Structures are given as structure tokens and as C-alpha cells.
Chain A
Amino acid sequence: MTAPSGGGILVEGVHKSFGDNHVLRGIDVKVDEHEVVCLIGASGSGKSTLLRCINLLEPVDSGRIVVGGEEITARRVDVDRVRRGIGIVFQAFNLFPHMTVLRNITLAPREALGIDKKAAEERAASLLERFGLSDKRDEYPDRLSGGQQQRVAIVRALAMRPSIMLLDEVTGALDPELVAEVLQVIRELAHEGMTMVIATHEMGFARDIASLVCFLDRGVVAEAGPPERIFTDPQEPRTRQFLQRIIAAGRL
């Protein structure tokens, strides 16, 4: 596989097991800088695990992951430093419930980057403003709607000024009417050229936003290609089956 451009991601031959459960069975994915790659596939196919491996939340068993030219799966890599450059947003938001929105956002810039309070708050304020959340800065997460919480989670990750964002079914826990506001935020990020890897069940969204779609099936990338091809002319029977099920469920 050729190296990704600039700050891209290269995943090469990655295997990962949990006990007897061989979850990732040799994953190869290349993400160029400023590119948006969508991961689709049945639940349990390994999408979340792959994203967690890229963020070093899970150690890989074998294979390697290169980010911005650095092999982050090598030994003796400072995981905290790597993670500061890679934002991840989870399906369940995972905001810190004992902190206000502002504190959620400024915690890591202050404690992990060492930015002073004032600068961190200014950075947070401008992000909140941009995503229409300014009036929520002093609220606690449990006072916000799911859509607002997820937007705060995105802002929290962005406040670290990552070069890459990993999004793990970020609309998966939202009521249907709240999905659009979150997808809008992601569209804006894509528009700005943020390099992103997005695990999603929103096929329409994936088709709009992805430059590359990877269909994961039982721990391997069964098929990868531009969305036009994957969604209209899939080559693999497995991909076809999966998409048929999705269409039957009314999600495409």
C-alpha cells in the first residue's frame, strides 16, 4: 500500500482479539489528509474497535498504524502525545457529568496541553459560539438534549486542535429529530478539510460526505471504494447483502 499523503492515516495488517474473539483480522485502510473515510458494516463487525485502536485506546496485537508519518503502534510511543493529536467522539457522548460544558471543554487543553485558563476558555468560547452552544457554557451535561451533548463532545475534541477526528456512530444514540444538527456539524468539519474516519449507520450521510467507504465484515475490509460505487454497484456479495438489509430497514 502506498503511504498516505501528509497527515493521513495508514492502517496495515491490524489484528486484534479480545480473548478468543478475533475481532480485527488483518485490516488495511488508507486515509489521506483532508479525506473523509466512512466505515460501514453490521454491528459487531469491528468498526468501534478499529477506531479505538487508531486512538490507542486498545493496543493492537499485530500490524501497524501510521499517523502523520509516525508509527504510533511502535513501542515506547508516548500515547498521551499521540492522542492529543487525534480526537475521538463516542456514540454515548461520554461527557464528564460533574463538570460544566465549559469545564468539559477546557479540561484537556489546560491539563494535557498546559494552556492557561483564560486562553483555554477563549478557545472554548469561540468553538461554542461557532456551533451555536454559547448559552450552554455553564450548564451541566444532564441539562442538555442528546444532540447538544454530542455537539459539546465534538467541541471538546476539537478544542485540542487535533489533525484527525474519529467519530464512532455519533448519531447512534440520538432521537431521529436530533440527528441532523450533529450531522451538520460534521459536514462543516469535512468542508474545512478535517481528516476524519467515521463509523456510521447513516448511509445517506456516508454517501454525501465520504471520499472513501470501507465495508467491514467480520474483522476485515471486505470492500472499499468511492461511495458512488459501493452504494450503487457493490462488487462483493457480502456488501450487496448488507446494503439490501439496510434498504429493507429503510435506512438508505
Chain B
Amino acid sequence: MLGNRGVLVSTASTIVVLGLIALAIAMSPGADIVRERFFSWEHLKQSFLGTETSPSVVSAFLLNIRIFMTAEVIILVLALVIAVVRSIPGPVFFPLRAMAVAYTDLFRGIPLILVLYMIGFGVPGLGLKYFSSVADVTYGIVALVLVYSAYVAEVYRAGIDSVHESQVAAARSLGLSRWKSMRFVVLPQAIRRVIPPLLNDFIGLQKDTALVSVLGSIEAARAAQIYGAENFNYASYVVAAALFVLMTIPLARFTDHLIARDRRRREAGFAR
């Protein structure tokens, strides 16, 4: 940990470095036009709040948050189911295992944007009555869930595989069923170990909520684009970018914290 003096020195050096960078940018050729196009206070404010003709980037960002929150919960559950199915032994369950493998191979391989097109344009294009009232954003969430569940299932699976078979032997030897051994002994250890990579995937998910805009939903990136096109100014993009960064930082720091805690535990000889 930094001492008082350490904090002072690091703050001072940060200010100096940032000041030098700002100075270099301000003095470089074209600095004025960059400042005007990207950092104009007026445009920053207007795109932030929205105008009569373009939506507020902040309000649009609430949609990103909603998409993220909804998708995240479904992914956590669905991916766990896929990972558990993949680890069921025995020839009887081969078809289930094969399906889980096929699923992960498929959806990790296809670019997210293609899945978005296929679901978002393809499914309504079938003209089925049942789907006629489904909102665009729902298709977007479905596409995110399909793709990210494949990634997260693999993360879970790595965790499940990392639990030594002697733990299962101990659980089964006590008369616990296969499922109860999984639930009480394997999964708690597996999930604990994969929380950092899991959070990492969710940082990716937070950013990829912007792609849902290709289906017509007005989320932050799309709102920024509308503002930019109308005003020939890119300050709206800066606003949107800042919002995304603000959202990912807490998760990133939390991930760091967990990783550091795991390392401390290991070094202290804890395997909890």
C-alpha cells in the first residue's frame, strides 16, 4: 500500500503527466478542430441531454443497462445448465452432451453481429404470428444470450474440470447422488474459481449491448450516432464512450479485487 508520501508523489506525477499530454494535444496542428468536433462543451451537453430531434444519449444508455442486466441473469443460468449437461457422464447422455458441444461450438464461432441479423431479421421474417408483437430489443437480448452463454458455459466448464475427481469420490462415497455431489461439492468450488474470468466476459457483454442497435433499438451508441449525423459533431460519441467506460470500471476493479484476493489466499496457503 502507498503511504501518505506515496499518495502525494503519485498524485503529483499523475497531474504532471496528464498536463504534459494535454499541452501536447493542445499545441499540435488541428487541435482546435479536434476540440470543436469531439469536445465542444455545447455539443457534449446537448447530446447528453438530447434535443428535439435527437434522443438523449444518457436516456438511451438506460436501455444498454437494461439489456445488460436482463441478458446477464439469463446467461448465468443458461450457461451453467449447458456446462453441467456437458459434464454428465455415461453413454445414455451422449445426445445431450453432443448437443451442448454443438451449441458452444456454433455460437462461439459465429460473429455476434450475424447472430443479431439472423435472429433480429430472420425470425420476424418468418411471419409467424406469435412473434409479431415481440420488440426489437428482445431479439437483441436473445442474440446476446445465445452467443455469450456459449462463452460463459466454457468458463464454467473449465471450473468444473478444475475440481479434482477425489472431491467427487469423497462426496459419492458418502452416499450423495451424482446431482447432489455436483450441487454441494463441485459447483461451489468451480464457480468460486471462475468468478474473475466470468466478470471479464461480462465486461465484454456490457460493451456489446451497443450492437443491438443494428436491429433498430435506440441505445446509447445509436443515439450518439443520430446526434452526430444531425449536427456534424462527434461529441455525442465521446459522451456515449464515457458512459460505457463508467459502467465497466466498477466491474473491472471488482475483478481485480477478486483476483488479488485469490492470490493473497493462495500465498497464505488458503485454498478456500
| A and B physically associate | yes
Q: List which B217-272 residues lie within 8 A (CB) of chain A.
A: 269-272
Are A142 and B177 in contact, with the CB atoms below 8 A? no
Chain A residues within 8 Å of B270, by CB: 140, 142
Chain A residues, Cβ within 8 Å of B173 = 55, 57, 83, 87-88, 157
Quick check: B175 and A83 within 8 Å, CB to CB? yes
Tell me whether A94 and B170 are in contact (CB under 8 A): yes
Q: Looking at the assembled complex, report how far the CB atom of B265 sits from the nearest CB atom of chain A, in whole angstroms.
A: 9
B87 contacts the other chain (Cβ, under 8 Å)? no
Number of residue pairs A-B, CB distance < 8 angstroms: 69
Contact B172 A160 (CB under 8 A): no
Is A112 within 8 A of B180, CB to CB? yes
Interface residues of A in 140-179 (CB under 8 A from B): 140, 142, 156-157, 160
Say if the beta carbon of A98 comes within 8 Å of chain B. yes
Inter-chain contacts of A88 with B (CB < 8 A):
173
**Complex formed: what's the CA distance from A112 to B174 in Å?**
8
Q: Which of A95, A96, A97, A112 contacts B175 (CB 8 A)?
A: A112
A142 with B271: CB separation less than 8 A: yes
Neighbouring B residues of A112 by C-beta, 8 Å: 174-177, 180
B189 cross-chain contacts in A, Cβ below 8 A: 96-98
* Known A94-B167, A107-B184: A142·B272 in contact at CB below 8 Å: yes
List CB contacts (< 8 Å) of B163-179 with chain A: 166-167, 169-177
With A and B bound together, what is the CA distance between A156 and B270 in angstroms? 21
The answer on a CB contact under 8 Å between B169 and A57 is: yes
Tell me how far the C-beta of B81 lies from the nearest C-beta in chain A, rounded to whole angstroms: 21
A67-105 with Cβ < 8 A to chain B = 79-81, 83-84, 87-88, 90, 92, 94-98
B180 and A57 contact, CB distance less than 8 A: no
Closest residue of chain B to A111 (Cβ to Cβ) is B180
A108 at the binding interface (Cβ < 8 Å)? yes
Q: Which residue of A lies closest to B178 (CB)?
A: A80
Instruction: Say yes or no: B269 contacts A157, CB within 8 Å.
Output: no
B185 close to chain A: CB less than 8 A:
yes
For the complex formed, measure the closest distance between the CB of B186 and the CB atoms of chain A, giving whole angstroms: 10
Interface size on B, residues (CB 8 A): 21
A142 partner residues in chain B, CB cutoff 8 A = 269-272
How far is B272's CA from A87's CA once the two chains are assembled, in angstroms?
Answer: 25
Are A157 and B166 closer than 8 Å at their CB atoms?
no
Interface magnitude class on chain A: 20 to 34
Q: Does B19 contact A (CB under 8 A)?
A: no
Residue of B whose beta carbon sits closest to that of A109:
B174
- Docked CA distance A84–B269 (Å): 33
Closest to A52 in B: B169
Inter-chain contact A97/B271, CB cutoff 8 Å: yes
Contact: A97 with B272, CB < 8 Å?
Answer: yes
> Complex formed: what's the CA distance from A156 to B172 in Å?
13
Q: CB within 8 A of A108: which of B175, B192, B269?
A: B175
Does B125 count as interface, using CB distance less than 8 angstroms?
no
A111 touches B169 (CB 8 A): no
Tell me the minimal C-beta distance from A37 to chain B in angstroms: 19
Interface assignment of B122: CB less than 8 Å from any CB of chain A: no
A98 with B188, Cβ < 8 A, contacts A57-B169, A142-B271 known? yes
Give A150 Cβ to nearest chain B Cβ, in Å: 13
Contact B169 A90 (CB under 8 A): yes
**Chain A interface (Cβ < 8 Å from any Cβ of B):** 52, 55, 57, 79-81, 83-84, 87-88, 90, 92, 94-98, 107-108, 111-113, 140, 142, 156-157, 160
Pairs across A and B, CB under 8 Å, 25 listed? A52-B169, A80-B176, A83-B172, A83-B174, A84-B174, A87-B174, A90-B169, A90-B170, A94-B166, A94-B167, A94-B169, A95-B170, A96-B170, A96-B184, A97-B189, A97-B272, A98-B188, A98-B192, A108-B171, A108-B174, A111-B176, A112-B177, A112-B180, A113-B175, A160-B174
